[in-house]
A and B are shown apart, each in its own frame.
Chain A
Amino acid sequence: MREIISAFFRERSAVNHHLASFNDFIPSPENPFSRMQMVVDEARLSEDSSERGVIKLDVEKTKSSIYVRVGRRRDQRTGAIDPTAEPTIFVGPLQGKQPVDTKPAISPPTPMEARLRNLTYQAPVYLKVTVVENGVERESEMVHIGDMPIMVRSRLCSLSKANMERTCGMPLTDEEYRARLMEYNEDPYDPGGYFIISGTERVIISLEDRASNRIFAELSDRYGTVPIESARIFSQRGGYRSPLTVEKKKDGVLQVSIPSTAGQIPLVILMKALGMANDEEIEQAVLAELLPLDEPFVQTMKHILNVNLEDAASPKAYPPEGISTPEDALLFLEKKFATGQAKEYRTKKVAGILDHLVLPHLGDMPQDRLKKALYLGRIARTVLELNLDMRKEDDKDHYANKRLKLAGDLMEDLFRVAFTMLLKDLKYQLERSFARKRDLRVSSAIRPDLLTQRMVHALGTGNWVGGRAGVSQMLDRTSYVSTFSHLRRVTSQLTHSQPHFEARDLHPTQWGRLCPNETPEGQNCGLVKNYALMVDVSEGADDEEVALVLRDLDTRDLGSQMASEKGSARGGKRAARVFVNGNLIGLHPDPVTLVAEIRNRRRSGNLSPALMHRGSEINVRYDESMNEVIVNCDSGRLRRSLIVVSGGVPRVTRQDMDLLAQGSMTYSELVRNGKIEWLDAEEEEDALVAIQAYETPERCPECSHTLSKKDVQWQNAGSKDPQALLKCAFCGGTFKSSLKISKDTTHLEVDPYLITGVAAGLIPYAEHNSAPRNTMGAAMAKQSLGLESVNYRYRPDTRGHVLHYPQAPLVATETQRYTHFMERPAGQNFVVAVLSFEGYNMQDAIVISKGAIERGLGRSSFFRTYRAEERKYPGNHDDRFEIPRPDVAGARVDTAYRHLAEDGLIFPELAVTEGDVLIGKTSPPRFLEEKTDLLTPQKRRESSVTVRAGEGGFVDSVTLTDGENFSKLVKVKVRNERIPELGDKFASRHGQKGVVGLIVPQENMPFTRDGIQPDVIINPHAIPSRMTVAHILEMIGGKMGAKMGRFIDGTPFSGDREDAIRDSLREMGFHSNGREVMWDGLTGRRLRGEVFMGVIFYQKLHHMVANKLHMRSRGPVQILTRQPTEGRSRQGGLRFGEMERDTLIGHGAAMVIKDRLLDESDRTVQYVCGNPSCGHIAIMDSRARALRCPVCGNTSAIYPVEISYSFKLLLNELISMGVVMRINMEDIR
């Protein structure tokens, strides 16, 4: 089935979720209902204004009726958007920003230009506004309202294939497209899917959230020991989210909790306040379709409901007369939430609660209240069902109850807030200018910076609207895998510090959706996840259309004729409730047929003409135990792809697979033809998925070659034959094997290895490892150095690494083909022996051959980019790139500037070390003063950029360009060769990490009779307790691959078999167990045992000694405390901590303690007044040149005292609080 996967990745990039989501957000002619247009259509200035997409100017201020329409025209009667109306919001195309004085237009920026010039990769946003004055519509006007950051490789990006084809005016093949990308200095394999904000690449991390507008039954135990049945719903409308809880108290009364209101409201009262006048209506709302009424549980439910109704009506509980009418209920709420306020305010407050805080997803207008009352009845019903054991607690961690928010969704939240802000400002500006000069020009009233700044700031810092932080992160460019994995990351909303054990557990529904292995260790474990390889995030289809389809298929409205016919159903069953996106829309007498019919129509693509493109987005499930049909078509469901099986026969046939392999069939054709479909976690509950279609024999019955799962071809796929006909890849012979698909099977897994993500998918034979090692292996792959991109010489990353001789792993996996790991590898194939060597590889250390290092093993280069800008300051002052003259304040000695050219910049390829000046720069004085007699005018300050402490290397490149504000911007990249040294960290792909413990001259390394010497020697103790069996397998696999000159397939579950490798090893003249007779390089004697040696892919991790090496004898101190600074970057001191101090106390080494803690820290000598009644710190009076106590005036008995400066600070601080601090001294006896 590997043909399907490769066809899938021919069609879709691995970051498709980001691109698709962003494309859906951006308006375009093909997408009239873009998220942005919807935000504009729905825009409102205040929560209670009824008109959307319109700014209404204040009548009092303008004395006339003026409004500005920004959204699309609406139908006068229904208020719905006129589908023929012209769009009102437009983005792009990208524009070059140019200084005023340059005449030729600047070409639109490319991502690389944005990176180099610290620009934001953004396109202008235009809004079409129409002013209507006293009913007269003026001509609409197109105004620039701001700039929108553009996702790289999205529809608007100049590098997207469609745009490239447009600029060169012809269709491009993949090859040509890649060549064009390289002309733009872009890596052809760069996945895109990120933004560039002020030159830095930022990703929007997918956010995992509880599904909104869905009722969750749960037992809450927050009131002590007895769990209380409750139902919660996160009601969401637009960006606004409001949870609501209904609980059944011990006395049977149902209480509702609403956010930002104190206390709880009895359900019945709330329903009445929402306009449900009589008790029958309430009963109907709760019990609704639950007919016939004679069943015992219905009676119990009715009883509980009666308790509630009586409670509300009881004068005792709610004096004076109980609550029976909506008016009573409203008065009760007014009293509860706005006691003692004016009547007008009270009414408004309660209306606000009912319309905005209660179930906002049903609407926020007074006319929506009845709907809300009905819905509350449904929630109450859920609580009662839970109470009567008719339903179980909902599983919050079930993936059917989770939704993902992608870049588009989050950008929508951001745009909504920014756009509303812009409109508010526009209204204010228009009112002002109209009042002044009766001017109504929108273009002059609008402030585009408002929107731009808001968007750019949020993306640049990750601080999103709603107070969420870390939504956008700096793209991890350590290696290609880390970039890929970062773009496929999912974080949970849950706070990372709380335990949440259930939420962290791997849930069965995550199978095939999220990687089971790739998650961080520690506090974020299980909360930060990554996509599995082949997933899709639903984009959503119109639920009203779906409801129409369901009605068409005989779903009856609640309370209709059919429903009241005592719920008559076929086969004696009650009619099933039908839900669309969690909303009950009706009943159906024959749910099984309904579900089958929907699936059939979905597969054949004729659900409804309106759902043409989005038909496959719909997932459906029949929950037998609850007798519910659940139809989902909302966005953010994480889905996986499965082969459809009907009647024990998979729909994908041999012929299909051959066509896919030839490339004459596409993956989406398979989906269109109903051969493959995407299932969400909900629908998968209904499916029976076969993992493998047939049994693969261990050896070919024809040629007796060992067979792995990939070595056979299923010849009769798609036929009704009860046995599988398999073809051996070695001899070409065919044979029969038993099928593992039964008549009940509904789906077939495409390939089991798809459950892993991009990082865990790199681990060969991962199914042989213990799970934690795979998790560690996946984590370490993201720290490995390799070829992160091919444009590394152009990229201005602040920090970057590149491995000199990256190699594709000899033991490869299928995943690597789709993550381009073979083209952008991060590691090398090492010859590794498992052996103890003089004890220098104890505790996971590794011994490495000097000869191998000298031939380039593990060599990498480290880049650091230093940048400086000629900033402009008020008063026509600016920074200057130059060689600072000696009269500049803080100027260095002449020789410090010897590398610089006239323009203050260094030359490329010069060797530099720490402290060398790279960019000579002077800044204007801090405080500007006129020249007076006493003060000389301040001099310009030296503000050169120098090489960081402990670093150095060669200047790689010097880039001089214009920054965002057309000030000169210079970037100097310094490169440093990193040759493996003692303490550098290396790791295999199996979580086996270690640091270099010894570098051995080549002649001392053990050797075989053929003269083969290992590059690395690892300790045998590293293997057994960790159970990294795949490490062993990879070693022998690599050995065979190296000898035979081919790649070994180590794909989990279907790679080359162990016996096949062992057989080949023997054929190649090695012992099949991989062990070899070795001879000691020092003595020449034979090593006692045989040594296990093989070839395995090792990664150099970015933790290198050169980045950590640190020492200090003298150095900077903090200004405040005069104690040594902290941290390597500030040449800080090494902390002599409490435990270290304890050891010295134990030794009685008092003077050493004094030396460490005082003399070598913040020792100071202070003069102390010897007057016994004073004892303050004295001063040296510089004019009198004498010691004097400033407090008592004493000048004679003043003594120097050695104290720590922090103690002196303490004295000062206490004195400042009015505490007298006296130091009383006496002579040492």
Chain B
Amino acid sequence: MEIQIQELSPKKALLKFSDTTATEVNAIRRSLVSNIPKMAIDDVEFHLGTVHDDESGRDYDLSTSIFDEAIALRMGLLPVPTKPKSFRFKDKCTCKGEGCEHCQVIYTLDKKGPCTVYSRDLVPLGDPELAIADPDVPIVTLGARQAILTYATAVMGTGRQHAKWQVVHAVGFTAQPKVTINKAAGCSDACLKKAGSICPTKVFKAGDGPLEVVKEDACILCKDCEKACSHGSIKIDSDPTTYLFTFETDGSMTAREALRLAFENLVAEIDDLRDAVVSLG
């Protein structure tokens, strides 16, 4: 297998795997989606009753238009920055599940209305670098006499447990499209041009000269152009050994880091499998 990086930004990756099979690429995809460990808010403690604000002299009701469990779900989905190797699973931590700085992050949220509460309002206890990766996620809108006071604890998990521990989104791949123009008998430039123009992803370019393929990778294999030229001049095919692979992360870690973890996991799983097979004798 050979990997060619076509685009790699902190939150987005576009790769090309060659000399491989669909199943291999899919194993990487599945590992990315469900096996990368990441921190996410899992436990939210809400305070009830009224709070008094000394500055304004007002009393606020600690309740909102959204139910506590719904707010908790929203907070769970926020991207908590997860640096490599900085956290452990709670049940495998040295603290034996009690919770320590190596297996959990605690955030406080204390806001009084009227306002919209955003993810930036969650203040991490300790390292300020642990602030939520995307500061502009709205959580809830508070009314004039409403307030919110919560403590939220983030722990480590994987996408298999719950979507909130899923680092990578919009993971997809396609076999490398192969677009060939081979002017058949009876076909004209006009016919080809017409066929090329209906491509939804603009794979072809028809300047003054003959039709040429300019963005082969963009082809969505819809074969409209193939059908448009009745002479069979355009052929759409795909290479089952080469795959274009794309994904995004939610911001809790970089795309590169996610990919590295996915591979690590995959290797570990395969090792486990081999060990298991071997142990069977």
Residues of A within 8 A of B (CB): 793, 804, 850-851, 854-856, 859, 861, 907-909, 954, 956, 975, 977, 1001-1003, 1007-1012, 1065-1072, 1075-1077, 1079-1081, 1083-1086, 1090
Q: A856-B70, A954-B67 are in contact. List 16 more A-B contacts (CB 8 A).
A: A850-B163, A854-B164, A909-B46, A909-B48, A954-B68, A977-B70, A1003-B33, A1003-B34, A1010-B172, A1010-B246, A1066-B198, A1069-B201, A1070-B200, A1079-B26, A1079-B174, A1086-B22
Interface membership of chain B positions 140-175, coded 1 if the CB is closer than 8 angstroms to chain A and 0 otherwise? 000000000000000000011011101001111111
Q: Which of B23, B34, B67, B247 contacts A1083 (CB 8 A)?
A: B23
**Complex interface: chain B residues within 8 A of A1011 (CB):** 169-172, 246-248
Q: A908 contacts B172, CB within 8 Å?
A: no
Distance between B250 CB and nearest chain A CB, rounded to angstroms: 11
Cβ-based interface call for B69 (8 A): yes
Distance between B146 CB and nearest chain A CB, rounded to angstroms: 11
Identity of the chain A residue whose Cβ is nearest the Cβ of B201 in the assembled complex: A1069
**Complex interface: chain A residues within 8 A of B73 (CB):** 856, 859
Identity of the chain B residue whose Cβ is nearest the Cβ of A956 in the assembled complex: B67
Q: Which of B29, B68, B175 contacts A1003 (CB 8 A)?
A: B29
Mark the stretch among B111-119, B123-131, B220-228, B268-276 that contacts chain A: B220-228
**Complex interface: chain A residues within 8 A of B159 (CB):** 1002-1003
A1010 with B30: in contact, given A793-B65, A861-B67 (CB under 8 Å)? no
Q: B69 contacts A1007, CB within 8 Å?
A: no
CA distance A239 to B201 in the complex (A): 73
Cβ-based interface call for B258 (8 A): no
Q: A1072 contacts B200, CB within 8 Å?
A: yes
Q: B25 contacts A1084, CB within 8 Å?
A: yes
A1012 with B174: in contact, given A1071-B224, A1077-B221 (CB under 8 Å)? no
Distance between B169 CB and nearest chain A CB, rounded to angstroms: 7
**Complex interface: chain B residues within 8 A of A1008 (CB):** 172
**Complex interface: chain A residues within 8 A of B70 (CB):** 804, 856, 859, 861, 977
| CB-based closest 4 A-B pairs | A1084-B26, A1011-B172, A1011-B170, A1009-B174
23 A-B residue pairs with CB within 8 Å: A793-B65, A851-B163, A855-B77, A855-B163, A908-B48, A956-B67, A1001-B34, A1002-B33, A1003-B33, A1003-B160, A1009-B173, A1010-B246, A1011-B170, A1011-B246, A1068-B200, A1069-B200, A1070-B220, A1079-B173, A1081-B30, A1083-B26, A1084-B26, A1084-B27, A1085-B22
Cβ-based interface call for B244 (8 A): yes
Distance between B276 CB and nearest chain A CB, rounded to angstroms: 21
CA distance A1086 to B224 in the complex (A): 18
Distance between B232 CB and nearest chain A CB, rounded to angstroms: 20
Q: A1083 contacts B172, CB within 8 Å?
A: no
Q: A851 contacts B166, CB within 8 Å?
A: yes
**Complex interface: chain B residues within 8 A of A1080 (CB):** 26
Q: A977 contacts B67, CB within 8 Å?
A: yes
Q: A1009 contacts B244, CB within 8 Å?
A: yes
Distance between B223 CB and nearest chain A CB, rounded to angstroms: 9
CA distance A1009 to B16 in the complex (A): 13
**Complex interface: chain B residues within 8 A of A1068 (CB):** 200
Identity of the chain B residue whose Cβ is nearest the Cβ of A861 in the assembled complex: B67
A1066 with B34: in contact, given A908-B48, A1009-B244, A1085-B22 (CB under 8 Å)? no
Identity of the chain A residue whose Cβ is nearest the Cβ of B217 in the assembled complex: A1009
Q: Which of B22, B163, B222, B247 contacts A1077 (CB 8 A)?
A: B222
CA distance A1012 to B30 in the complex (A): 14
Q: Which of B29, B68, B162 contacts A909 (CB 8 A)?
A: B68
Q: A1012 contacts B22, CB within 8 Å?
A: no
**Complex interface: chain B residues within 8 A of A851 (CB):** 163, 166
**Complex interface: chain B residues within 8 A of A1010 (CB):** 170, 172, 246
Identity of the chain B residue whose Cβ is nearest the Cβ of A1090 in the assembled complex: B222
Identity of the chain B residue whose Cβ is nearest the Cβ of A1065 in the assembled complex: B200
**Complex interface: chain B residues within 8 A of A909 (CB):** 46, 48, 68
Identity of the chain A residue whose Cβ is nearest the Cβ of B35 in the assembled complex: A1003
**Complex interface: chain A residues within 8 A of B222 (CB):** 1071, 1075, 1077, 1090
Distance between B203 CB and nearest chain A CB, rounded to angstroms: 11
Identity of the chain B residue whose Cβ is nearest the Cβ of A804 in the assembled complex: B70
**Complex interface: chain B residues within 8 A of A1083 (CB):** 22-23, 26
**Complex interface: chain B residues within 8 A of A793 (CB):** 65
Q: Which of A854, A956, A1066 contacts B162 (CB 8 A)?
A: A854
Q: A1071 contacts B220, CB within 8 Å?
A: yes
CA distance A861 to B65 in the complex (A): 13
Q: A977 contacts B171, CB within 8 Å?
A: no
Q: B22 contacts A1084, CB within 8 Å?
A: yes
Distance between A973 CB and nearest chain B CB, rounded to angstroms: 11
Q: A1084 contacts B23, CB within 8 Å?
A: yes
Q: A1002 contacts B174, CB within 8 Å?
A: no
Q: B163 contacts A1007, CB within 8 Å?
A: no
CA distance A851 to B164 in the complex (A): 9
Distance between B230 CB and nearest chain A CB, rounded to angstroms: 19
CA distance A533 to B73 in the complex (A): 40
CA distance A977 to B29 in the complex (A): 32
**Complex interface: chain A residues within 8 A of B172 (CB):** 1007-1012, 1079
Identity of the chain A residue whose Cβ is nearest the Cβ of B33 in the assembled complex: A1003
**Complex interface: chain B residues within 8 A of A861 (CB):** 67, 70
Distance between A714 CB and nearest chain B CB, rounded to angstroms: 34
Identity of the chain A residue whose Cβ is nearest the Cβ of B46 in the assembled complex: A909
Most chain B CB inside 10 Å of its own CB: which residue of A856, A909, A1076? A909
CA distance A1001 to B221 in the complex (A): 27
Distance between A349 CB and nearest chain B CB, rounded to angstroms: 69
Most chain A CB inside 10 Å of its own CB: which residue of B69, B162, B171? B69
**Complex interface: chain A residues within 8 A of B166 (CB):** 851, 1002
**Complex interface: chain B residues within 8 A of A1070 (CB):** 200, 220
Identity of the chain A residue whose Cβ is nearest the Cβ of B162 in the assembled complex: A854
**Complex interface: chain B residues within 8 A of A1009 (CB):** 172-174, 220, 244, 246
Of residues 35 to 79 in B, which have CB atoms within 8 Å of A's CB atoms?
A: 46, 48, 65, 67-70, 73-74, 77
Q: Which of A975, A1007, A1081 contacts B67 (CB 8 A)?
A: A975
Q: Which of B65, B163, B170 contacts A854 (CB 8 A)?
A: B163
Identity of the chain A residue whose Cβ is nearest the Cβ of B170 in the assembled complex: A1011
**Complex interface: chain A residues within 8 A of B246 (CB):** 1009-1011
CA distance A1090 to B222 in the complex (A): 8
Q: Which of B22, B27, B74, B171 contacts A1007 (CB 8 A)?
A: B171
Q: B200 contacts A1066, CB within 8 Å?
A: yes
Q: Which of A956, A1081, A1086 contacts B175 (CB 8 A)?
A: A1086
**Complex interface: chain B residues within 8 A of A956 (CB):** 67
**Complex interface: chain A residues within 8 A of B220 (CB):** 1009, 1069-1071, 1076-1077
CA distance A909 to B49 in the complex (A): 10
Identity of the chain B residue whose Cβ is nearest the Cβ of A1070 in the assembled complex: B200
Q: B23 contacts A1085, CB within 8 Å?
A: yes
**Complex interface: chain B residues within 8 A of A1065 (CB):** 200
Q: Which of A977, A1079, A1085 contacts B69 (CB 8 A)?
A: A977
Interface membership of chain B positions 208-219, coded 1 if the CB is closer than 8 angstroms to chain A and 0 otherwise? 000000000000
Identity of the chain A residue whose Cβ is nearest the Cβ of B168 in the assembled complex: A1011
**Complex interface: chain A residues within 8 A of B67 (CB):** 861, 954, 956, 975, 977
Distance between A1053 CB and nearest chain B CB, rounded to angstroms: 29
Most chain B CB inside 10 Å of its own CB: which residue of A1002, A1012, A1065? A1002
Distance between A1060 CB and nearest chain B CB, rounded to angstroms: 15
CA distance A850 to B166 in the complex (A): 12
CA distance A1084 to B73 in the complex (A): 31
CA distance A531 to B220 in the complex (A): 48
Distance between B46 CB and nearest chain A CB, rounded to angstroms: 7
CA distance A854 to B175 in the complex (A): 30
**Complex interface: chain A residues within 8 A of B169 (CB):** 1011
**Complex interface: chain B residues within 8 A of A1001 (CB):** 34, 160
Identity of the chain B residue whose Cβ is nearest the Cβ of A802 in the assembled complex: B67
CA distance A1079 to B198 in the complex (A): 24
CA distance A1069 to B220 in the complex (A): 9
CA distance A705 to B104 in the complex (A): 58
CA distance A285 to B246 in the complex (A): 93
